[in-house]
Amino acid sequence: MTFALTKYIFPLEEKVLISKHMGYTLDNPRTADEIEIVKSFITETLKEEGRDKDSRVAPLLLRYNLSLNDLQEELQKTDINCYALKFYSERSEVPVVDILAESWIIVRFKIDKEFSRIFKDRDTLFDIILGNKEKTTYAKDFDLLANYCHIVSSLCNNIKGYHGESFLLQENPYEIFFVSSYNKGVKDAIEDTVGHNFILKHKNRATSWQYWLDSRESLIENCKRLETLLIQEKIIESGKKIRSSQKQSPKQKIFHIGSRLRTAYMHLSDPELMLLLLVSVLEYLITRNPDTSKFNVEDSISRQFKLKCAVLIHKYNQEYDLLELSQELGMIYSQRSDLAHGNYKEDFDIKEIVDSVYLLYVFIN
């Protein structure tokens, strides 16, 4: 029993394997202990949202319950989700908070005794957090999962406006055990589910990658794409000097990129740092170390950045104009250099940095 919460809420008939190599599966809480962990985690947020803040708006739990009627009406039109219909039908008399806890989608990962130990005795949590100078195995495994989820989330988004959010709700491994505090992520996940349950019947509704019925196919497909890389060994050319890029396996590279994406999102309030981190991801993907005896290093990397990115992005999506791409990439790298070296100009505009951050997520995808 080791798992983390996602932002998806929907009853699953069986586990959904997303990475055989890493042992990651999507599921619902199945045992009484698992359901209790989720219920305890979301209860305080629901209590807070249920207090009379604005009498014009129905409490969150009530709105969720009402939205289930709309959801079931739409599910009845297809045979695909017959399990979900049965799930809700069998729980018509069950408290809504229990329905939420049982249908919350979790991601299971490598089993660790520390998870069960904290659940059985919450007092050990403080000993672990305050007493360990180094990360525990459980915390390290959670970090890998979080990095993986940021990669998948990025691949599921190819529109300008995505700012690095992950489908994983938890930000740290121990958050799920803090049961007496309000959690905005829980509130937002329920609100998003409620909103899309209500509009599911509209043919021209806006879809959301954070709503399970909209995102499941894309998410599973992108996980399959990643799996083909995770299982690969290091690629070393026979008879040649090993380049620095060959010293890491595709798996190591993927998790390095995921770590950078996760760190960038953790600094959402600092778009300048985000830009530096996101540019470093593209540099990591497509540039090589230039010969310092022949080139000005920064100029050479800048040239590689603009040329290689433009060619690859245009090849992926030919609707992009190469000249326009080159100009955008040149502007982004110029911003990167100004930020890295402190060359602030009098007309520096933070909005331009934010616009570039949005573009970088599209280009990284």
Distance CA 167, CA 154 (A): 10
Q: Contact 15/28 with Cβ under 8 angstroms?
A: no
Q: What is the pLDDT of residue 130?
A: 76
Q: What is the pLDDT of residue 347?
A: 67
Strands 104-108 vs 24-27: parallel, antiparallel or unpaired: antiparallel
Q: How many CB atoms lie within 10 A of CB 203?
A: 4
Name the residue with higher pLDDT: 206 or 239: 206
Q: What is the pLDDT of residue 346?
A: 63
Q: Indicate the SS3 state at residue 172.
A: coil
Q: Which of 56-65, 68-77, 106-115, 345-354 has the lowest mean pLDDT?
A: 345-354
162 DSSP assignment:
B
Our CA dihedral for 291, 296, 298, 301, rounded to 10 degrees, sits at -50
Average pLDDT, the chain: 89
328-352: pLDDT as tens digits: 999 999 999 888 888 766 667 889 9
155-207: pLDDT as tens digits: 999 777 899 999 999 999 999 998 888 999 999 999 999 999 999 988 888 88
Q: Contact 212/9 with Cβ under 8 angstroms?
A: yes
H helix intervals, the chain: 32-50, 60-75, 82-90, 96-103, 113-120, 123-131, 137-155, 184-199, 212-230, 250-266, 271-286, 297-316, 322-341, 350-364
Q: Is the pTM of this model over 0.75?
A: yes
